[in-house]
Structure 1
Amino acid sequence: MRFLLRLLSPLIALVVAAVGVVTTIEVVTAWLAPSSSPLIVPWPTWRAGLEGLTWSSATVRTIAIVIGVVGLLVLLVGLVARRHDVELTDPVPEVTVTTSPRSLARAVGHEVRSHADVVSASVVASQKKVVVKAGTLDAPDAVRGAVRERVDEVLARLPLAHRPRVSVSVAPTKGVK
């Protein structure tokens, strides 16, 4: 969602800037040569068409609903794209301590990869869940318990405000040559 927000923000800014430039050109043209026709936007024709509309017209209501829905979608994208930090226990009431999910995943991944039987590991973390996918040359069932124990040890050492759920999967990998 953050990618979508980073994409939408400049696009909306460009549209607003373009409307501002076109409006400025039309206003300056109307001031300097009021009798000439408009340069870019046929605003006299639009004004004549809009004079017959009222607030209770179906066209006005439809446009208002569409603008409202688009505005709510942009607001929703903005709210969903916020940072999802992992809360740690506060040392004192005046101080709030957080870490990023990436840092938590890095700490867990470092510990999992230090296990002798783990060849590769991938860790994804959030405030609610830690997902570990490890690869081993040995029997996966034998390694899964040891990896789970290491993950639990790391999470116990960290001052997490809420302990996340842990999901560990271990799969056999082909031998490295």
Structure 2
Amino acid sequence: MRLLVRLLATLVGLGLAVAGVLLVVEVSWSWLRPGSAPLLVPWRTWLEHGTRLDWADREVLAGSLLTITAGLLLCTAASAARRRELPLADLCPEVSVTTSSRSVARLIVHRLRAEGDVADVAVHADRRRIRVRVVGSRPGSRELRPRLLDVTRKLVADLPLREQPRIAVDVRGERQPR
């Protein structure tokens, strides 16, 4: 979801930048040639059309509903893009401690890369589960998955997490060069 918010922010920023450039071009053009027609944007036509509109017109209503809907969608996307944190066990009642799911994933990646027969590791961690995808350095290594699952379980058990997440390990064979 954070990727969606970043993408939306980039698109809105680019749209505002383009609108700003068009505004500068049109203002400069109207200063250089006061009586001429607009250069890129037919703003005089839009201005004349806007003066004829009333608050009860369908175009104004549709524009306001579109703006409200876009604003609600942006607010929903921004509120859903919160940081994913894992609560740690409380050391005392007055202190609440959390850690990011990214830091837990990095810890698991570093520990599993130190194991033998591991070519690559990708980890996604959240409050309920940890998904580990491993690419083995040798094809057909059947004992790799149980060993890595055991290592991951021990590592997560040593963390002072409030709730122990489920752990899933998927091991694939070595990637073949193309």
Same fold per superposition (TM over 0.5): yes
In 1, distance between residues paired with 2:3 and 2:139? 37
| Deviation (angstroms), 1:156 | 0.8
Letter of the 1:6 partner, please give it: R
Q: Secondary structure at the match of 2:107?
A: helix
Unaligned runs of 5+ in 1: 30-35
| Deviation (angstroms), 1:173 | 2.7
Q: Where does residue 66 of structure 2 map in the other structure?
A: 66
Q: Contact 1:89 / 1:97 at 8 angstroms: preserved in 2? A: yes
Name the Cα RMSD after superposition.
Answer: 3.7
TM-score (norm 1): 0.69
Q: Where does residue 153 of structure 2 map in the other structure?
A: 152
Cα offsets for 1:74-116 (capped at 9, x unmatched) = 2122123321122212222332222222211122223323334
Answering whether residue 121 of structure 2 is matched by residue 119 of structure 1, we say no
User: Sequence identity of aligned pairs in percent?
Assistant: 34
Cα offsets for 1:110-163 (capped at 9, x unmatched) = 3323334x32241222222211122155532x2222221111111111011222
In 2, distance between residues paired with 1:106 and 1:10? 28
Letter of the 2:95 partner, please give it: V
Aligned residues: 170
TM-score (norm 2): 0.69
Query: Are residues 152 and 53 of structure 1, via their aligned partners in 2, closer, same or farther at CA, if it must alter by over 3 Å?
Result: same
Unaligned runs of 5+ in 2: none
Moved more, 7-16 or 119-128: 7-16
Moved more, 77-86 or 166-175: 166-175
In the alignment, which of 135, 138, 141 is matched to residue 139 of structure 1? 141
Answering whether residue 174 of structure 2 is matched by residue 173 of structure 1, we say yes
Letter of the 1:125 partner, please give it: A
Q: Contact 2:38 / 2:44 at 8 angstroms: preserved in 1? A: no
